[in-house]
Structure 1
C-alpha cells in the first residue's frame, strides 16, 4: 500500500466535526502518541523493557492510530504524505551530512 492509497482510505473513515478539524486531529494525534508512550512506559516499569509479541501488537495498533491522524492532518492540508516523508528524510540527511543530528532546534 502506498501513502496515497492510505490517505484515500483514511479519508473514507473520517468522522469528526469538520469545522473543528484541525483541533480535533491535532488533539487526536497527541492522544494516540500518548497511548504509544504509555505502553512503552509500562513495558519499562512492569517488564524491564522486554517486549513480547502481544506487547508489540498492542503498540503496533496504537502506531496505526497515530498514522491515521497524521494521514488526516495531511488530507486537511491537502498535503501528500509521501512528500512529508520525503521532506523529512531530506532534512535528516542534511543533518547527518552537517553532523547536526544531535542537538536542539528545528533548523539545525
Structure 2
C-alpha cells in the first residue's frame, strides 16, 4: 500500500507544480521549473518502480504494453475518448 500512496502523492505534486505554471505564468516553463519537475518526476518513477517490484511486474513490461496499447489505439483512431477497452 505504501508505494501506491507515495505514487499518488508524488504525481499530485507534479500536477500542482504544472498547475501553478499555467496559473501564474500562462504555461511558460522556466529552467527552474524543469529542474523542480525533474526531481518530482524522479520521485514518481521511484514509487512506480517500487510498486512494480512489490507486484512482481517488470517496469519494462509495463512500458512495452502501454506503447503497444497506444499504437493500437492510434491505428484504429481511438486515442481520444474514455475507457480502457477502446
RMSD: 0.7
**TM alignment of 1:1-108, pairs within 5 A:** 23-108=1-86
In structure 2, runs of 5+ residues without a counterpart are: none
Q: Relative contact order (alpha carbons < 8 A, sep ≥ 6): 1 or 2 greater?
A: 1
Per-residue CA distance 1:67-100 (angstroms, 9 max, x = gap):
0010001100111111110000000011011111
**Unpaired runs of 5+ in structure 1?**
1-22
- What's the TM-score once normalised by structure 2's chain length? 0.96
After superposing on structure 2, the runs of 4+ consecutive aligned residues of structure 1 that deviate more than 6 Å are none
TM-score w.r.t. length of structure 1: 0.77
